Homo-oligomer: A and B are copies of this chain.
Amino acid sequence: MINQRYYAAMGDKSVIRELAAYAAKRGEEIGEENVFNYSLGNPSVPVPQIYTDTMIRLLKEEDPIRLHSYAPTLGVESVREKVAASLRRRFGIPYEKIHIYPVSGAASALSHAMRAVGTPGQEIVIQAPFFSEYRQYVQGADLIMKVVPANFETFQIRFDEMEKAITENTAAVLLNSPCNPSGTVFTDETLTALSELLKKKSEEFGHIIFLISDEPYREIAFDGKKVPYPSHYYDHTLSCYSFSKSQSVPGERIGYIAVNPKCEMADQMTALFGQISRGIGHNGPSSLPVYTMGETIDETSDLKVYEENMNILYDAFRRLGFTVQRPGGTFYLLPKALEDDSVAFCKKALKYDLVFVPGDGFGAPGYFRVAYCVPTEKVRRSVAAIERFCAEEYGVKPNA
């Protein structure tokens, strides 16, 4: 009568969305400006003006029938070519339009990639900590999520554990750099070692183990550094990109998958994505955002505010003696809570109108995620609340 699998899963609600809803409700009571809502990764800086201008221009100048018409099954060719050209320029990898598949955001990209390379019952190996929604994408594709325990010292890969996790039944490793929730950028050394491991294991098991690279935070890097590009290290890489964070348009659901031209079945992979799309009724992202993507491919919002926010919060947590890694990018911090039970910790924080997300869902129990995509003046104001929270609940005072 009703699909029991989905029905049962309805209880498995998104903790992040629930906390965000709580924060919104609390905001109605005491004023939004008084709730330090660090729950949701919704960008706090506006879309680049050229994005808005481009949309308006397309709406005014383009033939409306063409602008709003069905895209071909694999997406608008001219836009796919523009994405390929941008990636060629930026990364020096000879992508062609045949390697580019427009999708409705990173969630869609990952879901297509997993379905393409995994057969139901196979495994996707993921290094903790990881974005909590990965569970949904993996289970939705009838695959099995295998978690490599976190390295809480550096949040880099634990290769001893990763090697044990990869078996004959492994379809792909999923990597997210910079990482939600830790903010970690996987280093040149890590990616080199990962590539070697994947080559070795692919040979050992007689089939390619793919690298699914989730890259929505690629452009949000700190300290003037560049994020190493996974496809530079391993040929069988599917780069899953979304403009949600870099252009502050998460609601527009727009991104792409870029298949490394040396990847197994590189020239057929996008056709495979197209077939997957038909079966889930997805049929590509909306056309206005697609054409806009083509025109604004190399533009980003003013992203430096996230680094400013990070520095304020990182310093505040350090002064309070928290164990916390300095992030290399994203707009997340993942400090260790002041008690083992991070759910209890986050619950106590709510009393001070501080909305943090417990690390449990991210494979990091005992830690908590701080999504600092909020206005900087609010970040500054939140420091006093954090200090009061730590003093009153845990007797912890900042060091001078």
Known: A139-B279, A252-B286. 7 other contacts (CB 8 A): A43-B65, A56-B56, A65-B248, A104-B282, A105-B281, A137-B279, A140-B280
Q: Which residues in B have their C-beta under 8 angstroms from that of A149?
A: none
In the assembled complex, which residues on chain B have CB atoms less than 8 Å from the CB atom of A281? Answer: 104-105, 107-112, 137, 140
Tell me which residues from 37 to 79 in chain A have a Cβ below 8 Å from any Cβ of chain B: 40, 42-47, 52, 55-56, 59-60, 64-65, 67-73
Q: Are A250 and B70 touching (Cβ within 8 A)?
A: yes
A363–B43 alpha-carbon span in the complex (Å) = 48
Whether B288 contacts A252 by the Cβ 8 Å rule is: yes
Identify the stretch in A3-11, A310-318, A332-340, A382-390 within 8 Å (CB) of chain B at 4 or more residues: A3-11
Q: How far is the CA of A264 from the CA of B7 in the complex (A)?
A: 13
In-complex Cβ contact of A6 among B21, B275, B284 (8 A): B275
Inter-subunit contact A254/B286 (CB<8 Å): yes
Task: List the one stretch of A179-187, A189-197, A265-273, A344-352 in contact with chain B.
Answer: A265-273
Within 8 A of B (CB), among A90-137: 104-105, 107-112, 115-119, 133, 136-137
A17 lies within 8 A of chain B by Cβ = yes
Tell me, in angstroms, the Cα distance from A207 to B283 when the chains sit together: 32
Which A residues from 238 to 289 make CB contacts under 8 A with B? 248-254, 264-265, 268, 271-272, 275-276, 278-289
Q: B272 to A40, Cβ gap below 8 A?
A: no
Q: How far is the CA of A364 from the CA of B79 in the complex (A)?
A: 37
In the complex, the answer to whether B208 meets A283 with C-beta atoms within 8 Å is no
- Whether a CB of chain B sits under 8 angstroms from the CB of A2 is yes
**Any chain B CB within 8 A of the CB of A154?**
no
Question: Does A1 sit at the interface, judged by CB under 8 A?
Answer: yes
Residue of A52, A55, A69, A264 with highest tally of chain B CB at under 10 A: A69
**Considering the chains assembled together, what is the distance between the CA atoms of A250 and B285 in angstroms?**
11
- Residue contact B115 to A264, C-beta cutoff 8 Å: no
A208 touches B282 (CB 8 A): no
Point out residues on A near B: beta carbons under 8 Å.
1-7, 9-10, 12, 14, 17, 21, 40, 42-47, 52, 55-56, 59-60, 64-65, 67-73, 104-105, 107-112, 115-119, 133, 136-137, 139-141, 171, 207-208, 248-254, 264-265, 268, 271-272, 275-276, 278-290
* Cα–Cα, bound, A280→B107 (Å): 8
In angstroms, Cα B110 to Cα A5, docked, is 18
A126 to chain B, nearest CB (A): 15
A2 pairs with B278, CB closer than 8 A: no
**B137/A10 in contact, CB under 8 A:** no
* Interchain residue pairs with CB less than 8 A apart (7): A56-B56, A68-B251, A108-B281, A136-B278, A252-B286, A252-B288, A286-B286
The smallest C-beta distance from A60 to any residue of chain B, in angstroms, reads: 7
Beta-carbon contact of B3 and A119 below 8 Å: yes
Query: Are the CB atoms of A140 and B2 closer together than 8 Å?
Result: no
Q: How far is the CA of A283 from the CA of B284 in the complex (A)?
A: 13
**With contacts A56-B60, A64-B248, A248-B64 known, is A2 near B116, CB below 8 A?**
yes
Chain B residues whose CB sits within 8 angstroms of the CB of A108 once the complex forms: 281-283
Q: With A44-B65, A288-B289 in contact, do A117 and B1 touch (Cβ < 8 Å)?
A: yes
Least CB distance from A199 to B in Å reads 15
Is A265 in contact with B2, judged by CB distance below 8 angstroms? yes
Shortest Cβ distance from A104 into chain B, in angstroms? 7
B56, A42: Cβ atoms closer than 8 Å: no
State in angstroms the CA–CA spacing of A56 and B52 once bound together: 9
Which chain B positions have C-beta within 8 A of A253?
Answer: 104, 283-287
